[in-house]
Amino acid sequence: LWTTSHIAEDNIKAVREKVGTDQVILGLSGGVDSSVVAALLHKAIDQQLTCVFVDTGLLRLHEGDQVMATFAQHMGVKVIRVDAEQRYLHALQGVTDPEQKRKIIGGLFIDIFDEEAGKLSNAKWLAQGTIYPDVIESAGSKSGKAHLIKSHHNVGGLPENMTLKLVEPLRDLFKDEVRKLGLELGLPADMVFRHPFPGPGLGVRILGEVKKEFADLLRKADAIFIEELYRHDLYDKVSQAFAVFLPVKSVGVMGDGRRYDYVIAIRAVETIDFMTARWAHLPYEFLDLISRRIINEVAGISRVTYDISGKPPATIEWE
Ligand code: XMP
């Protein structure tokens, strides 16, 4: 019988048989797939697992702390948190081209992961959250964005001198099966049903050059939007929702004074496969609330716009 608990049990057994008493290393991003692998491997091999969580400084509000709370504090998983914000900001300084930004962010991730893996000299296995659609996707395309997405997301592009063997326990599973498995393994529902978040993170949601000031403004605005989506029971009705930072200034009035501040765009889409998408027809009252809250609560933002572009021609992310 192909039930989730069999998937969990069978997988736990398979992993144990495969890795024996060896040490395993996993890149934990906080996304669904790597989280489920972490939970599964923790059940299977406990302290033989070491996770590396790279805090790029391009994550959402409190995301790093939440990942640590869930896995390290709550579950007792061994997690090395690497605070790499300064390195990322430095590497991205002056860079405005989207693909260049993606390359830098992905490349730095691999460097940092490799450094950490090097310190764990007794690790024999690299665990990855590859799922069945990734397997199909990478078979079909040799280059382009699909490959980039996969390679960054699943740490697929590790240096060739790395001698680690691969363990990919989700390789045969579809996304909905991965989610069920995650719940079964005791991961919180909001983690398991979270919207997708791109590997380059806020790096592709801050248009043009990435600066800490912009990331901080964007994090606050994004958190307000997401919080209200949950509160209004809209989070699960849209496939993906987020804020985008536009590095242009616009005039506004505040009390007696004028302000000349930045612009935030709000995006929410409905889609089955993320290949095409329609913009979510969120209620006007809801959009009104989001706009008011962001402008009132995020000093430095004077205007909020709602993105009404479908995919195609617009992509879901702005970069
Ligand atoms: P687009 O913007 O191409 O996005 O319509 C489709 C889906 O892919 C996500 N996305 C990425 N994921 N690395 C990732 O891991 C990336 O570079 C990347 N770019 C886009 C996007 O969030 C959406 O879910």
Determine if residue 35 is labeled as part of a ligand binding site.
yes
Q: 205-306 maps to which CATH number?
A: 3.30.300.10
Task: Please give the number of the atom of ligand 1 that sits closest to the Cα of 196.
Answer: 24
Determine the pLDDT at residue 148: 38
- Give ranges for CATH 3.30.300.10 in the chain: 205-306
Per-residue pLDDT in tens (0 to 9) along the chain, 319 residues: 566 678 899 999 999 999 999 999 999 999 999 999 999 999 999 999 999 999 999 999 999 999 999 999 999 999 999 999 999 999 999 999 999 999 999 999 999 999 999 999 899 999 999 999 988 877 765 443 443 334 444 444 555 566 899 999 999 999 999 999 999 999 999 999 999 999 999 999 999 999 999 999 999 999 999 999 999 999 999 999 999 999 999 999 988 889 999 999 999 999 999 999 999 999 999 999 999 999 999 999 999 999 999 999 999 999 9
Determine the pLDDT at residue 140: 60
Task: Name the token pair of 184.
Answer: 């079964």
Determine the pLDDT at residue 250: 96
Determine if residue 252 is labeled as part of a ligand binding site.
no
Who's near 303: CB < 8 A, 6+ residues apart? 250, 252, 261, 263, 264, 295
Closest to 197 (Cα-Cα) out of 40, 66, 50: 66
Determine the pLDDT at residue 204: 98
Pick the CATH number of 4-192 from 3.20.20.70, 3.40.50.300, 3.40.50.620, 3.40.50.10310: 3.40.50.620
- Ligand 1 centre to CA of 20 (Å) is 36
Determine the pLDDT at residue 138: 74
Residue holding tokens 């000299």?
121
Q: Is 240 in the pocket of ligand 1 (CB under 6 A)?
A: yes
Instruction: Say if residues 167 and 125 touch (Cβ distance below 8 Å).
Output: yes
- Give ranges for CATH 3.40.50.620 in the chain: 4-192
Q: Is 286 in the pocket of ligand 1 (CB under 6 A)?
A: no
Tell me whether the omega of the peptide bond preceding residue 133 falls within 30 degrees of 0, making it cis: no
Best probe residue, ligand 1, of 100, 128, 149 (max atoms within 8 Å of C-beta): 149
- Nearest-CA residue for atom 3 of ligand 1: 315
Q: In what order do the strands lie in the sheet with 49-55?
A: 78-83, 49-55, 23-27, 123-127, 165-167
Q: How far apart are the first and last CA of the chain?
A: 44
Could you please report the per-residue DSSP string of 108-163? Answer: HHHHHHHHHHHH-TTEEEEE----HHHHHHHHH-SSHHHHHHHHHHTTTT--TT--
- Ligand 1 centre to CA of 172 (Å) is 22
Instruction: Say if residues 27 and 113 touch (Cβ distance below 8 Å).
Output: yes
Q: Which ranges in the chain belong to alpha helices (H)?
A: 4-19, 32-45, 63-67, 85-92, 98-119, 132-140, 144-153, 175-184, 189-192, 212-231, 284-297
- Nearest-CA residue for atom 19 of ligand 1: 198
Instruction: Say if residues 88 and 105 touch (Cβ distance below 8 Å).
Output: yes
Compute and round to an integer the Cα radius of gyration of the chain: 20
Residue holding tokens 């906080």?
30
